[in-house]
Amino acid sequence: MRKILVAYFSASGTTAGAARSIAQAVGGDLYEIRPATPYTRADLDWTDKKSRSFLEMNDPACRPAIAQPVEDMDQYDTIFLGFPIWWYVEPRIVDTFLESYDFSGKTILPFATSGGSGIDGAARNMQARCPGARWVQGRTVHGNAAAWAKGALDKA
């Protein structure tokens, strides 16, 4: 029997909704990747070149701190990983999450929310950070998150 974690970062609530839907559909535990310093509306203003999100995304080495770690990550063998697409890739806090644990031998199924960008750039970045994991083709989800998750899990 698989032990499933649905880990997600959500700045506006959209990814959180998809994550809850997926967790319910696959019977997974839900974990929110929360920043140690929460984002404000001004931080998320991607049109402001001095905003926190703009500065983080323009610094490939940036790793925002996470508020609380996953309890007993070793118990999970399958991880659905959700996030919004920022600047065509995953937010830097997702990189912090990926670099905080050993995912060797675990299956990771990424899902993203986006107004128009695909998940391919993020998938390449994340796979490079965790080459020991088994990566399943990710998807940008909208209202179909639960159906996608069930189908992806069957193929994993």
DSSP 20-38: HHHHHHHTPEEEE--BSSP
Does residue 143 carry a pLDDT above 80? no
Q: What is the pLDDT of residues 13-24, one digit of tens each?
A: 999 999 999 999
* pLDDT, average across residues 151-155: 85
C-beta neighbour count of 135 within 10 angstroms: 18
pLDDT at 28: 97
b/e string for 50-71 if b means 16 or more Cβ within 10 A? ebbbbebbeeeeebbebeeebe
Does residue 84 carry a pLDDT above 80? yes
pLDDT at 122: 94
Does residue 152 carry a pLDDT above 80? yes
Report percent pLDDT > 70 for the chain: 99
pTM of the predicted structure, to 2 decimals: 0.93
Q: What is the pLDDT of residues 109-121, one digit of tens each?
A: 999 998 788 899 9
Average pLDDT for the chain = 94
